[in-house]
Structure 1
Amino acid sequence: FWRGKNEHAWSIPKGEFDPEGEDSCDCARREFTEELGTALPDNAELVALPIVKASGKHIHPFLVRGDFDPATLVSNTTEIEWPPRSGRRLTIPEVDAAAWFTLEDAVDYLHKGQGPLVRAIAQELAD
């Protein structure tokens, strides 16, 4: 489905969490590890950004101050039905690539609903 698509096809690592049972910072660390295959260093600073509503979901984003080499990506896998309603099941990587973008380019690559994150990151970096 995503093959050959780049514009507005990228997303930040994210997942669901129960605010009553898990801290959003702990969830961010867990999702980073699950989706990128490497844990954030214990000393990596996570900075909470304003909550963004995208595709009917509330995203609790964090800016990570630390190092990450996109070449170290080792994605977990997920099972999908492809083509839809075919009954055929495929196991695919949840994440097929990781990359750094300038803030200007990120607006063009991130899902449109995540565009406000770029403004929040720019504001945080300016402070």
Structure 2
Amino acid sequence: MAGRRSAGLLLFRTGDVGVDAGAGSGTDGVGVEVLLAHMGGPLWARRDVGAWSVPKGEYVPPEEACEAARREFEEELGLPPPEGPYIELGEIRQSGGKVVTAWAVESDLDPDRISPDTFQMEWPRGSGVVRAFPEIDRVAWWSLEAAGERIVAGQRVFLERLADRLGE
């Protein structure tokens, strides 16, 4: 697994948030919310804690990480990536060895508009039946605190870096 690289975009919005965010919102008024993606497929279907991620995907240099993040955003969510300015959040190494690089960008995306890419896998395992599943099954806006409880542990630092950059 060492040597694998991913890049992604962490959307955030500020101000009077949480008004129409529904059940996915953990806010109570003014603040910062981030858009996280829930990993798709049967292995993640019943999980919440640790099953959310920055929308991201793998790339291979010489592709530039920021361009890969924009491309992967569109592939994962089925929507064009928001325009900048982008806030560099650096990179982290996840427990499996994958290096993830992320940027934050302010945007307000309607979670109901996503049209995610799919992948195929044998399910149930050993059945010989190959089925298609969405790479992400939903996205939702979360307060930084609520996002910190749900995001893959290794990516939590991106939330901390965003809060630092925004002075939260």
* Paired residues of 1:81 and 1:90 also in contact (CA < 8 A): yes
- Corresponding residue number in structure 2 for 1:45: 85
SS of the residue 1:105 aligns to: helix
Q: Which has the higher strand share?
A: 2
Higher relative contact order (CA 8 A, sep 6+): 2
Runs of 4 or more above 4 Å deviation: none
- In structure 2, the gaps of 5 or more residues are 1-42
Q: How does 1:13-92 map to 2 (within 5 A)?
A: 13-20=55-62, 22-41=63-82, 43-54=83-94, 55-92=96-133
Q: How many residues align?
A: 125
Task: State the percentage of identical aligned residues.
Answer: 37
Q: 1-side partners of 2:123 and 2:110: how far apart?
A: 31
Q: 1-side partners of 2:125 and 2:105: how far apart?
A: 36
Q: 2-side partners of 1:39 and 1:52: how far apart?
A: 25
Q: Which has the higher helix share?
A: 1
- In structure 1, the gaps of 5 or more residues are none
User: Structure 2-normalised TM-score?
Assistant: 0.69
- By how many angstroms is 1:75 displaced? 0.6
User: Structure 1-normalised TM-score?
Assistant: 0.89
CA RMSD of aligned residues (A): 1.6
* Paired residues of 1:37 and 1:76 also in contact (CA < 8 A): yes
- By how many angstroms is 1:84 displaced? 2.9
Q: 2-side partners of 1:78 and 1:32: how far apart?
A: 16
- Name the aligned partner's letter for residue 57 of structure 2: G
- Corresponding residue number in structure 1 for 2:51: 9
Q: Which 10-residue stretch deviates more, 83-92 or 51-60?
A: 83-92
